Amino acid sequence: MVQINLPKKSEIKKGHYYKDKTGSKNIRKVNIYRWDPATGGNPRIDTYEVDMDNCPSKVLDLLNKIKNEIDPSIAYRRSCAHGVCGSCAMNMDGKNGLACTKPHSEIRGDINIYPLPHLKVLKDLIGDLSTLYKQYESVQPWLKTTKKISDTEHLQSKNDRSKLDGLYECIMCACCSTSCPSYWWNGDKYLGPAVLLQAYRWIIDSRDEDRKERLKKVADELKLYRCHTIMNCTNACPKGLNPAKAIASIKKMLATS
């Protein structure tokens, strides 16, 4: 259901203001979404003044600096810091992306950091992705074959292998799915760009023998056709992939099969 306004208890209040203590002349204001399950209440925006002269280039560096030097209570996910694990996906400057690959110099004015949109917040910048993972499981993202298990590899031609390019690189960071208005309004039924891209990755794999069943399973008014080609997913993908095109390819396969 389309619900433009946030529920009452999700409305964002003004929070604390952390003034700069270093005396630096190169200061930027960083506004961060905060919510703590221990205290409850409404979420708030805390503002931090950060000394940019001693801060490395990425938004994740900025968050680490705040956590290390100003406010250790702030919570966010991060792991590899090289755009490979997908943990630090969040909304920065009104757009989803990975904090570890997004340079803060690209952001003009104050730096606004929110969790990924339209998720239940677990704490601060950490959203609950369990629905997305369940949907991922529902497309059975593993190779299905009737062949007996052998000692050799499943061989694939160069051309067939190239069909997986632009799909296998997906790191499931959820930047695309949580940028999609259709997923916001129908996230419980619509699979969303991330999961559909993964579904297509197995549909198009020449080694997989379950293509027909996979297509049949995904051919659903809500699961697939809630995609209206808004293209927010492709705009958001930090790996430069194209979920919108993958979804269109599934639609085209269904229309022509």
Partner 1 sequence: MNNNPLSPHIQIYNWHISSLVSISHRITGVINTLALSLICFWVWILLFGNESYEIVFNFFNSFVGKFFIIGFIWSYSFQILSEIRHWFWDLGYGFELKTSKITGVLVILGSIVITVVLYSTRGVLF
List C-alpha distances in Å: 200 to 189, 217, 223, 246: 18, 12, 13, 6
**What is the greatest pairwise CA distance in the chain?**
69
Which residue lies nearer to partner 1 by CB, 64 or 232?
Answer: 232
Residue bearing tokens 């699961």: 223
Query: C-beta of 121: minimal distance to partner 1 in Å?
Result: 5
d(CA 106, CA 88): 18
Which residue lies nearer to partner 1 by CB, 42 or 73?
Answer: 42
Interaction with partner 1 in 236-255: which residues (CB under 8 A)? 242, 244-245, 248-249, 251-252, 255
The single residue among 1, 9, 82, 151 that binds partner 1, judged by CB under 8 A, is 9
The single residue among 21, 26, 37, 257 that binds partner 1, judged by CB under 8 A, is 37
Which residue lies nearer to partner 1 by CB, 129 or 191?
Answer: 129
**Which H, E and C letters describe 180-193, residue by residue?**
CHHHHHHCCCCCHH
Distance from chain centroid for Cα 45: 21
Interaction with partner 1 in 44-103: which residues (CB under 8 A)? 91, 93-95
The single residue among 28, 30, 32, 35 that binds partner 1, judged by CB under 8 A, is 35
Query: Which amino acid appears at position 237 of this protein?
Result: C
In the shown chain, the binding pattern of residues 124 to 163 toward partner 1, with x for contact by CB under 8 A and - for none, equals ---xx-----------------------------------
Binding span for partner 1 by CB under 8 A among 78-86, 157-165, 195-203, 224-232: 224-232
DSSP symbol at 103: B
User: Residues in contact with partner 1, total (CB under 8 A)?
Assistant: 46
Binding span for partner 1 by CB under 8 A among 40-48, 70-78, 142-150, 202-210: 40-48
d(CA 91, CA 100): 12
DSSP symbol at 206: T
Which residue lies nearer to partner 1 by CB, 10 or 162?
Answer: 10
Taking a C-beta distance cutoff of 8 angstroms, is the pair 35, 27 a contact? no
Q: Does 42 bind partner 1 (CB under 8 A)?
A: yes
d(CA 191, CA 193): 7
Residue bearing tokens 């979404």: 33
Residues 6+ apart with CB under 8 A from 27: 20, 49, 50, 51, 52
Catalog residues that contact partner 1 under the rule CB under 8 A. Answer: 4, 6-7, 9-10, 12, 33, 35, 37, 40, 42-43, 91, 93-95, 112, 114-122, 127-128, 179, 181, 184, 228-232, 234-235, 242, 244-245, 248-249, 251-252, 255
